[in-house]
Amino acid sequence: MSSIKNDGIFRTVVKKVSPFIPQVEKPKKKITLRNKLIWTGIALLIYFTMGQVQLYGIIVDPANDPLAFARVIFAAQQGTLIELGIGPIVTAGLLMQLLKGSDMLKLNFRDPNDRSLFTSATKIVTLIVIVAEGVLYGLAVYGGSTPSPGHTGVLIAQLIGASVVVMYLDELVQKGWGLGSGISIFIMAGVAQAIVWSIFNPFPVPNFPELTGLIPGLISSGLDGNAAEMLFRSAPPAPTPNLPSIFGLGITSGILLLLVYVQGIHVDIPIVSTRYRGFTATYPIKLLYTSNIPVILASALLANAMFLGNMLWANFNPNNDSPFFNLIAQYNGQSQTPSGGLFYYMNPPGSLDAAAADPVHAVVYVLFMTVIITIFGRLWVELGGLSAKSAAKNLLDADVQVPGFRRSESSVESLLNRYIPSVTIIGGIIIGLLAGVSNVFSVFGTGIGLLLMVDILVNYYNLLVREQVDVHMPKLASLIGRD
C-alpha cells in the first residue's frame, strides 16, 4: 500500500515539475547517419573545449586531487569547467535505475508515458545532484583557497552551470540528434585521448628531465644511445605515475586484445516470435553480463571513500597518532594517496616500482578489486533488472518464446537461471582481475578506462550496424525493434 502511495506521489511531483525544465526537442524528421555523426562531433568538441577552460578564481594543485581515482570514469579534468565531468549524470542515472530495478518505482517501459515520466524524473534528479555536488565540492575542495565567500559562490556557480551544459549535451545526443549516448562518447574520447597522449606527449615531466610521451622519449633516448632504457622507465617524483614505456605499451595492447576477445564470448539461447511466423533469432547471454556497471559502482564507491578518508584524517588524525584511525588510513602531508591503513590496500600501488617494493600491497589490491566488483555485479543483476526473472518477463513481453519450453515466466526463468548466476560471478571475477592487474601495471588510460572504452566501442559498433540496417533494410530494422 505504501509503495502504491509513494508511486502516486512520485508521478504527481514529476508531472508538476517537468514543464518548468527546458528540454531538447527530438528531431521532427529522420536524421541521417552523416548528420548524427556531425552533431556527435559538435557535442564532443564543446566538451573538449570546456576541458581546456580553467575555473576562474582557483589555484590547482595536481598533488591534491580528491577525484583523481575517478577522473577516467567521470570524464573529468581537474581545475576546468568539467571538474565534475559526467559524475552527476552517472550518479543520478544509477540511482534511478536502482529505484526502478528494485520496484520502488512502478513503471512499465512498454508504455510511452511511463518511459517519458522516467526520463523527466531522471533529469530532475540529475539537476538536484548537480546542485548538491557543485555546492559540496566547491566548499570542501576549493572553499578554503578562495579569498572570500563571493569568490566561492562564483566557483560553485561555474561548477553547476558547466554540469548543466554537459547534461544538455548528453541529452542532445541521446534525443536522436547524435549517435548513442553523450556519456559514452565523452568517456571513450577521454580514455582514447589519454592513450594517445601517453604515446605522443612531447613535453617533459615537471621537475624531471625525461620527455613524457613514449615516442618522443624513444627518439630522444635513441639519439643519446640509451634506447634500452625505454623498455622500463622508473617513476618520476610524485604525484606523476609511471612514465609510458615499451613494456607498458605491450601490456596495454595485450589487455585490449584480451578484452575484445572476452567481449565476444556469450551463450546463445534460440528464440522465436509469436507474432511473426517463421522469425527466429537468438538471445545472447554475454560472459560479461553486467557490462562495466560493477566497475563504475566500485570505483565511484572507492573514490568517495578515499575523499571521505582524507577529510577524516585531516580533521581527526593529522599527525597519524590515533591507533584507531591509523587502522583505517594514514597520509603523509597533504597527499591524497594513503600511505598506510586499510585504505592503503584499497588504492593501487601507482607504479611498477611501488608494486615491486611492496608486492603484498599489489596482490591485496587486485584481490580486493576482484571481490568488490564481483559483489557489485551480483547486486546489480538483482537491483538493475537483469535477473533471470526480469529477463524472462522481458522476453515474454517482447512476444517471443524459447522453443521446447512452455510460454510462462517460471519455465523461461528456470532456463535462464542455468546461465545468468554463473556468468555474473565468472564475468565479475574476470573484470575485477583485469581492472586490478591493469592498474598495478599502470597501463595507458588506466585499467578501468580500457574496460570502459572497449565496452563502449563494441556497443557503438553494434549501433552502427543497426543504423546501416535501418538505411538499407528499414523493414527488417522495424521487425527487430528499434527505439
CB 379 within 8 A of CB 396: no
CB 292 within 8 A of CB 455: yes
The rounded distance, in Å, linking the Cα atoms of 434 and 447 is 7
The rounded distance, in Å, linking the Cα atoms of 350 and 278 is 56
Q: Is 106 left (phi over 0), alpha (psi -120 to 50) or beta?
A: beta
Q: What is the pLDDT of residues 192-213, one digit of tens each?
A: 888 888 888 888 876 666 777 8
The rounded distance, in Å, linking the Cα atoms of 404 and 406 is 7
Pick from 264, 124, 140, 249: nearest CA to 196: 249
Report the mean per-residue pLDDT for the chain. 81
Report pLDDT for 128: 94
Q: Give every strand in the sheet of 400-401, ordered side by side.
A: 280-286, 266-273, 400-401
Report pLDDT for 147: 61
Report pLDDT for 124: 92
Lowest mean pLDDT among 141-145, 182-186, 373-377, 399-403: 141-145
Higher pLDDT, 103 or 478: 103
CA dihedral defined by 59, 62, 64, 69, rounded to 10 degrees? 130
Q: What is the pLDDT of residues 104-132, one digit of tens each?
A: 777 776 677 888 888 888 899 999 999 99
CATH 3.40.640.10 fits 255-457, yes or no: no
Higher pLDDT, 473 or 15: 15
CB 113 within 8 A of CB 121: no
Report pLDDT for 314: 75
The rounded distance, in Å, linking the Cα atoms of 33 and 23 is 23
Pick from 289, 299, 330, 282: nearest CA to 421: 289
Q: What is the pLDDT of residues 426-448, one digit of tens each?
A: 988 998 898 888 888 878 888 88
Say if residue 238's pLDDT is above 80: no
Q: What is the pLDDT of residues 329-347, one digit of tens each?
A: 888 766 667 888 888 888 8
Mode of pairing for the β-strands spanning 266-273 and 400-401: antiparallel
The single-letter code of the amino acid at 103 is D
CB 386 within 8 A of CB 296: no
Per-residue 3-state assignment (H helix, E strand, C coil) for the chain: CHHHHHHHHHHHHHHHHHHHCCCCCCCCCCCCHHHHHHHHHHHHHHHHHHCCCECCCCCCCCCCCCCHHHHHHHCCCCCECCCCCCHHHHHHHHHHHHHHHCCCCCCCCCCHHHHHHHHHHHHHHHHHHHHHHHHHHHHHHHHHHCCCHHHHHHHHHHHHHHHHHHHHHHHHHHHHHCCCCHHHHHHHHHHHHHHHHHHHCCCECCCCCCECCHHHHHHHHHHCCCHHHHCCCCCCCCCCCCCCCHHHHHHHHHHHHHHHHHHCCEEEEEEEECCCCCCEEEEEEECCCCCCHHHHHHHHHHHHHHHHHHHHHHHHCCCCCCHHHHHHCECCCCCCCCCECHHHHHCCCCCHHHHHHCHHHHHHHHHHHHHHHHHHHHHHHHHCCCCHHHHHHHHHHCCEECCCCCCCHHHHHHHHCCCHHHHHHHHHHHHHHHHHHHHHCCCCCCHHHHHHHHHHHHHHHHHHHHHHHHHHCHHHHHHHCCC
User: Grid coordinates standing for 244?
Assistant: 609510458
In percent, the amount of the chain with pLDDT more than 90 equals 13
Q: Tell whether the torsion through CA atoms of 432, 437, 440 and 445 is positive or negative.
A: negative
The single-letter code of the amino acid at 264 is G
User: Grid coordinates standing for 245?
Assistant: 614505456
Pick from 155, 146, 69: nearest CA to 346: 69
- Same topology, domains 1-201 and 255-457? Answer is yes
CB 212 within 8 A of CB 243: yes
CB 326 within 8 A of CB 341: yes
In percent, the amount of the chain with pLDDT more than 70 equals 88
Report pLDDT for 11: 82
Q: What is the pLDDT of residues 133-150, one digit of tens each?
A: 899 888 877 766 666 777
Higher pLDDT, 110 or 325: 325
Say if residue 483's pLDDT is above 50: no
Q: What is the pLDDT of residues 400-436, one digit of tens each?
A: 788 877 878 888 888 888 889 899 999 889 988 988 8
310 band by pLDDT with thresholds 50, 70 and 90 = confident
The neighbouring-strand residues paired with 272 are 280, 401
Mean pLDDT of 83-88: 88
Report pLDDT for 117: 86
Q: Computed over its alpha carbons, how large is the radius of gyration of the chain?
A: 24
What residues does each domain of the chain span? Answer: 1-201, 255-457
CATH 3.40.250.10 fits 1-201, yes or no: no
The single-letter code of the amino acid at 320 is N
The single-letter code of the amino acid at 386 is L
Pick from 244, 235, 140, 260: nearest CA to 199: 244
Predicted TM-score of the model (pTM): 0.79
Compute CA 288 distance to the chain's CA centroid, rounded to the nearest angstrom: 15
Say if residue 6's pLDDT is above 80: no
Higher pLDDT, 86 or 3: 86
User: Grid coordinates standing for 312?
Assistant: 577524516
Report pLDDT for 482: 42
CB 190 within 8 A of CB 445: no
The rounded distance, in Å, linking the Cα atoms of 13 and 6 is 11
